[in-house]
Chain A
Amino acid sequence: MHYDLETIDDYLHGELDEAHDAAVHAHLETCVPCRAAYDENATIRDWIRAAADAEEREFPGQISARVWETVRAAKPGPFAFLRTGWRPLVGLPVAAALAFALYVGHPFAHGGPQPGIAASDLLLEHDAQMADNPLADHGMVVPASFVDSTQPTSALIEAVDTTSASDASDGR
């Protein structure tokens, strides 16, 4: 008796129930053809994983945060949706994209934008205050192209300059 490839594949991915899993495990210990099929499938799985890992890329945290900020701010117009929706080939992906945009962008979809200060702002503020030290890490990069131009700067950071009051209080 040999297991079919589908069962071996399910075993490989841990999708069999406990009793079935144990039975296949015991069988593979003794059946050379099934073991060969299992090894072949395992090799393919490892290739796919390796290829996926090799392709994995990640934006620097600051940039990624800005991209999310822009996505949240996106407000697709209803007419654009209707116009695009007429085209069957793109209708489905557009609907999916719009659903995603609404999920992350609409305040009622999941309780609104995340509350609190963006962690990326705190990282930037910390980095800015280290500018006076030539030995500090100055590698954090937030170029102009990653800043949402529709967002008023005052909503990002308004600094309260305490120097003048400090001067007054200590007589400097």
Chain B
Amino acid sequence: MIVRALVAACAFAAVPALANGTNVPPPAAPVAETETDALVRTAFDAPKRISYVGQLQTIRWGNRIANATIQRIEHLAPGRTRRTFLAPEALYGEYDVTVGETTTKIDPRDHRAMVEQNPASENSTATNTSLSLLEANYRAILGPVEVVAARPATTVALVNKYTGERIMKLWIDNDTKIVLAKEAYHADGSLAWRTRFDDIRFTSEIPPDIFSLDTPPGFQSIAGRHFANSTVDEGHALDEAGFKPVIPHYLPNGFSEVGADVATIRTVRNLHVIYSDGIRGLSLFENDTDESANFDGLRPATTHFAGHEATYVRDGPTTLLAWHDHGLAFALVGDLDIRELTQIAISVEP
């Protein structure tokens, strides 16, 4: 532990020197691990202060295939972002603009615009909760400086304190603290998803007009989704459900409830309880229709636990497990593998 702390301290102290391109050895001052936490905390908030224009690559790995996108991103701090898809070809030219809770998605080929509302995208309380959970459940370990998008970036591994597994690695820009790249890993160490800037330029001189949420003239306006506003008042959401809800007795170490809501999805009223460990999210959906989730267009598989037949599917790094029991339909969705989801499902006992 002492050795690791010293290594981390030296690496952290070396960052400014490397960033300036000098060979001066860093002073051997002891740096507590909390400084790495502070770096991550600063990176959390950096987009609220820093504007940029860049090209971002995302890859999500599933069981057999990977999905990739390339997006040009214009971000004007604190809260205006425009993403234009460059790849895959089917999405080329489409873009979306997010300001606060509202996102307008533009399809230039079919001249359509869709407006979505998502309160979660502007929920600073929830963001702080995520940060607190991150610090409680993960050890931030400083790594060497690496170059991303031609800029020196400090690497930070986020290691789960309970399992010792590295769940995420960040590349944080030395000057601005913007996260230039992220990699998330499954429990077995395999890569789950990755985002990485191929190119980035920090500037606040971005024409504000490009962040307009208005439907362009001549475009058909389609009402998009209005996602639920989750609340930390679980009791109230449980009361709103309209049936006697059930919650799991078991959660993986570090996971806590961070919100709950009741949403009507395709005419079915659902209780949605949200859990997180600071990086990974978990959702429990339940309703009293006794109707199974349908998996049209997906590739589901069947599993069995505690006398139940359940169906599950993976969408990139996310797994969905659905079953029903005692007249209630359940679905767990999370950045966890099927083994972990099954353990949670077993503990959901009506």
Residues of A within 8 A of B (CB): 57-58, 60-62, 64-69, 72, 113-141, 143-145, 147, 149, 152-163, 165-166, 169-170
B203 → A minimal CB distance (Å):
21
Would you give 26 A-B contacts (Cβ < 8 Å), ordered by A?
A61-B298, A61-B313, A69-B297, A119-B294, A119-B298, A125-B263, A126-B333, A129-B274, A131-B118, A132-B120, A132-B126, A133-B276, A135-B130, A136-B130, A137-B316, A145-B90, A145-B112, A149-B112, A156-B225, A158-B226, A158-B264, A160-B262, A162-B233, A162-B240, A162-B261, A170-B236
Contact B231 A163 (CB under 8 A): yes
Residue from the list B96, B300, B320 in contact with A122, Cβ < 8 A:
B320
Q: Give CA–CA (A164, B255) in the complex, Å.
A: 27
The answer to whether residues A160 and B228 also contact, given A144-B106, A144-B114, A155-B267 and a CB cut-off of 8 A, is yes
Q: Give CA–CA (A53, B69) in the complex, Å.
A: 22
Per-position 1/0 for B175-186, Cβ under 8 A of A: 000010010100
Contact B236 A141 (CB under 8 A): no
Whether a CB of chain A sits under 8 angstroms from the CB of B143 is no
Binds A, one of B1-9, B20-28, B284-292, B339-347: B284-292
Contact A122 B225 (CB under 8 A): no
Q: Give CA–CA (A119, B105) in the complex, Å.
A: 22
Q: How many A-B residue pairs have CB under 8 A?
A: 265
Residue of A nearest to B65 (CB): A58
Question: With A139-B193, A162-B261 given, can you name 15 additional A-B contacts, CB distance below 8 Å?
Answer: A61-B297, A64-B297, A67-B297, A115-B294, A117-B265, A117-B270, A118-B294, A126-B334, A133-B126, A133-B130, A149-B220, A152-B223, A158-B263, A160-B262, A160-B263
Contact B69 A157 (CB under 8 A): no
Contact A131 B120 (CB under 8 A): yes
Whether a CB of chain A sits under 8 angstroms from the CB of B329 is yes
| Complex interface: chain B residues within 8 A of A166 (CB) | 231, 233, 236
Contact A137 B261 (CB under 8 A): no
For chain B, which range describes its interface: under 10, 10 to 19, 20 to 34, or 35 or more residues?
35 or more
Contact B266 A114 (CB under 8 A): no
Q: Give CA–CA (A153, B227) in the complex, Å.
A: 11
Contact A145 B91 (CB under 8 A): yes
| Complex interface: chain B residues within 8 A of A61 (CB) | 62, 297-299, 313, 315-316
Residue from the list A118, A128, A160 in contact with B118, Cβ < 8 A:
A128
Contact A119 B69 (CB under 8 A): no
Contact A122 B233 (CB under 8 A): no
| Complex interface: chain B residues within 8 A of A119 (CB) | 293-295, 298, 300, 313, 320, 322, 331
A100 → B minimal CB distance (Å):
14
Residue of B nearest to A132 (CB): B126
| Complex interface: chain B residues within 8 A of A66 (CB) | 297
Q: Give CA–CA (A127, B281) in the complex, Å.
A: 9
| Complex interface: chain A residues within 8 A of B69 (CB) | 139, 141
| Complex interface: chain B residues within 8 A of A154 (CB) | 223
The answer to whether residues A145 and B60 also contact, given A121-B265, A125-B263, A140-B316 and a CB cut-off of 8 A, is no
The 4 A-B residue pairs with the shortest CB-CB distance, nearest first, are A114-B294, A65-B297, A68-B297, A159-B228
Q: Give CA–CA (A69, B90) in the complex, Å.
A: 18
Residue from the list A139, A145, A163 in contact with B107, Cβ < 8 A:
A145
